[in-house]
Chain A
Amino acid sequence: MTARLRAETAAAHAVARLSRWARRGGGTTLPGKLVWKLDPGALDALANALPHGVVLVSATNGKTTTTAMASAILSPTRRLAWNNSGANLASGVASTLLLARDAELGLLEVDEFALPEVSRRTDPHVICLGNLFRDQLDRYGELEHVAERWRAAVSELPASTTAAVNADDPLVAVLADGRERAIRFGVDDLSAARSGLQHASDSKYCVRCGRPYRYNAVYVGHLGDYRCDGCGHARPPLDVAAREIASHGLDGISFTLHTHRGSAPVRLSLPGLYNVYNALAASALCLALDVPLEDVVTGLERFRAAFGRFERFAAGDRTVLLLLVKNPAGANEVLRTLEEDALPPVIVVALNDRIADGRDVSWIWDVDFEPLLARAETIVATGERAAELALRFTYGGLPVERLEVVPALEAALDRGLALTPSGGELVVLPTYTAMLALRAIATERGLTRPYWEWSTVT
């Protein structure tokens, strides 16, 4: 470590302590913001200083969960520098590397847009790419634009980098084409397939020739087993696959993990086919690091959800289940998981419109809320754009007598709890900043812990 880097590291620890002391949060991004501003090259040096280098994870949906699953697998045998706070821009990555003491391996979730810069500077051993869905068009621009940036970033990586890619997403699968080291993962179970593409599916046209793909199976959004009858472009063979999938409602999901090193049954303690994809991504990443299959399975099974993604806490004699929603594809999977289970009588949906939520709220119209609207007894619309949500629900067919509009989050939480029968569960679906605000309220009431003390393993 150079003298300059040592000085920056020491200063970063001081700033983080100051930030926590000033109750500005977990001190997770401020040190990195300072260093990033003063010396962007520090990121290269920090990554270089790690004996096992870094691995990067990016995706529209599931990057936080995938990275947390990888941490559950890797942490018993390696000291990690892991950005578990969700600070996934270049400055957040810099913070994580600055603040990690004696780390051996950087395990980094990276924002889709920040990926090219971070990957160029950190020279990752493995780059794990999960999926591309339309998300926050106001911030990221169109999907094709993000895909183009990823293509450029991956093509610059040395041959020694392993690309772990989701073969079921056409735009992501092609990123591993022609690479010496690649692991392709996907779902291979026709019984888990959906009846067809959802409204607002992305990437349903061939990446090579533009004709519509024919799907042998659709799993999540546009992810599936696709083939173009025009030019023959098709899902590549899978190196890591999930088969024999069985859902246990909100209690979890199990599957058999098939790899080039053998197969093993896995039971996840969180629900949804989308979490099978996250588990596959984490498995592919860890297998690329030569982790034994049994350690992968043990890690996946002791994993519990990252904060706010699937978080349950008690509130008196009721429970609250927080399920983050942030874009149509992610929200649709959360809703589908809820519908497979006994649907709770009361649901609070919270829509904010800050930068981290997306300032353009039109995405709520691409979410298939309709089955929920048909069955829920009461829906409470809350957040800074509560009225907009209320319109989504009423124009979606929810009778006004089953709708309550309570813009203030704390009042909405209390109203939801009051409507929930004793012993019952209140389901809350917040966007990102609404989730943080609701967790802050719950933390204040002693119902859960602040995010910087959150643990994702049991």
Chain B
Amino acid sequence: MIIRVGHLYPEYLNIYADRGNIAVFSHRAAARGHELAIDQVSVGTPLEPGTHDLLYVGGGQDREQTLIAPDLAGRGSALREAVDGGAALLAVCGGYQLLGRGYRGRNGSWLAGAGLFPHETHAGETRMIGDVLLESTLAEAPGRTIAGFENHAGRTVLDDGAEPLGRVVAGYGNDGRSGHEGCRVGRAVGTYLHGPLLPRNPWLADLLLSWALAHATGSEPEPLAPLDDRLEREAQLVSASRARERGGRPAR
């Protein structure tokens, strides 16, 4: 099976090793006999809903994010239509912020987002930096652990009733207060966690791939065949212990 991937702005949004996430998708799809066909979606490139099974938006430095933000904001309806049609999406860090309604700067400025995720972000006075450990609240994988690293000045506040990716066990999470991290809408997942996210959290990669395959085949998602994930588990254990030892300690 060919999984059609749309990678948004790879030349701008690549700060936290986003190519690691793509490599994991590619490798784990290949191990099950599937192949990724990756389109680079750049500023001005048309994005036709339904043509991609999986969309990926990474993180960038502030300057790079500002350069692509207007283009991304203009793709709101196309992205909502794609996700409503069952496409999977993963957005990390800056991509996660820019897919919400918008970003309020410290000087009151407003940077409009794409409005896919039901959240708003405002700049905080300090950056939230450190190792993070989550327990997934996804209905498909309740309680499964996710370990990563966060580095964000933005505080992201989910709308009432919005579904997070997980509960924060150690670290700051969306805003350092709510105890929530990330957001989920349909088959779209957004998160601050990089490190990169997927190498040490392979179950999440497989879940997203199973959604992408369901979109490609027009059927219901099926669990993928297990792989030898001993190294992945070891890496997650180390990362999780770092979060417990030295992750951010929010004032709750």
Interface of A with B (CB < 8 Å)?
A: 134, 137-138, 141-144, 199-200, 205, 210, 353, 359-366, 384-385, 387-388, 390-392, 394-396, 405
The answer to whether A387 touches B231 (Cβ under 8 A) is yes
Question: Given A199, A205, A359, A395, which contacts B63 in the complex, CB threshold below 8 Å?
Answer: A205
Q: Would you give 30 A-B contacts (Cβ < 8 Å), ordered by A? A: A134-B15, A138-B130, A138-B149, A141-B127, A142-B62, A144-B63, A200-B14, A205-B63, A205-B64, A359-B130, A360-B16, A360-B149, A360-B195, A362-B16, A362-B195, A365-B17, A365-B19, A365-B23, A366-B17, A385-B235, A385-B238, A387-B231, A388-B199, A388-B239, A391-B199, A391-B200, A391-B232, A392-B199, A395-B27, A395-B199
Known contacts A138-B149, A359-B130, A387-B238, A199 near B19 by CB under 8 Å: yes
The answer to whether B17 touches A359 (Cβ under 8 A) is no
Q: Which residues of B contact A134 (CB under 8 A)?
A: 15, 61
B55-109 residues with Cβ-Cβ distance < 8 A to A are: 61-64, 67
Q: Which residues of A contact B62 (CB under 8 A)?
A: 142, 144
| Cα separation A134 to B151 with both chains bound (whole Å) | 14
Q: Which residues of A contact B195 (CB under 8 A)?
A: 360-362
| Cα separation A137 to B242 with both chains bound (whole Å) | 17
Q: Which residues of B contact A363 (CB under 8 A)?
A: 17
Known contacts A141-B127, A362-B149, A395-B24, A205 near B67 by CB under 8 Å: yes
Q: Which residues of B contact A205 (CB under 8 A)?
A: 63-64, 67
The answer to whether B149 touches A359 (Cβ under 8 A) is yes
The answer to whether A388 touches B235 (Cβ under 8 A) is yes
Q: Most chain-A Cβ atoms within 10 A of its Cβ — which of B15, B129, B232?
A: B15
The answer to whether B23 touches A362 (Cβ under 8 A) is no
The answer to whether A362 touches B17 (Cβ under 8 A) is yes
Q: Most chain-A Cβ atoms within 10 A of its Cβ — which of B16, B131, B194?
A: B16
Q: Which residues of A contact B234 (CB under 8 A)?
A: 387
Q: Which residues of B contact A388 (CB under 8 A)?
A: 199-200, 235, 238-239
Chain A interface, >50% SS class: helix
Asked if B196 is at the interface of the complex by the 8 Å CB criterion, the answer is yes
The answer to whether B199 touches A137 (Cβ under 8 A) is no
Q: How many residues of B contact A (CB 8 A)?
A: 33
Q: Which residues of B contact A360 (CB under 8 A)?
A: 16, 129, 149, 151, 194-195
The answer to whether A391 touches B235 (Cβ under 8 A) is yes
> Quick one: closest B residue to A205, CB to CB?
B67
Question: Given A142, A210, A405, which contacts B231 in the complex, CB threshold below 8 Å?
Answer: A405
Known contacts A142-B62, A387-B238, A359 near B246 by CB under 8 Å: yes
The answer to whether B15 touches A137 (Cβ under 8 A) is yes
> Would you give the 0/1 interface string for B149-180, flagging 1 where the beta carbon is closer than 8 Å to chain A?
10100000000000000000000000000000
Q: Most chain-B Cβ atoms within 10 A of its Cβ — which of A360, A395, A405?
A: A395
Q: Which residues of B contact A137 (CB under 8 A)?
A: 15-16, 151
The answer to whether A362 touches B242 (Cβ under 8 A) is no
Q: Which residues of B contact A361 (CB under 8 A)?
A: 149, 195
Asked if B20 is at the interface of the complex by the 8 Å CB criterion, the answer is yes
Q: 12 new A-B pairs (CB below 8 Å) besides A359-B130, A395-B20?
A: A134-B15, A138-B130, A141-B127, A361-B195, A362-B195, A365-B19, A365-B20, A366-B17, A394-B231, A395-B23, A395-B199, A405-B231
Q: Which residues of B contact A396 (CB under 8 A)?
A: 23
Closest beta carbon of chain A to B173's beta carbon, Å = 17
The answer to whether B242 touches A353 (Cβ under 8 A) is yes
| Cα separation A364 to B20 with both chains bound (whole Å) | 9
Q: Which residues of B contact A366 (CB under 8 A)?
A: 14, 17, 19
The answer to whether A359 touches B15 (Cβ under 8 A) is no
Question: Given A143, A362, A385, A405, which contacts B196 in the complex, CB threshold below 8 Å?
Answer: A362
| Cα separation A207 to B93 with both chains bound (whole Å) | 24
Q: Which residues of B contact A385 (CB under 8 A)?
A: 235, 238
> Quick one: closest A residue to B28, CB to CB?
A395
| Cα separation A141 to B153 with both chains bound (whole Å) | 10
Q: Which residues of A contact B61 (CB under 8 A)?
A: 134, 142-144
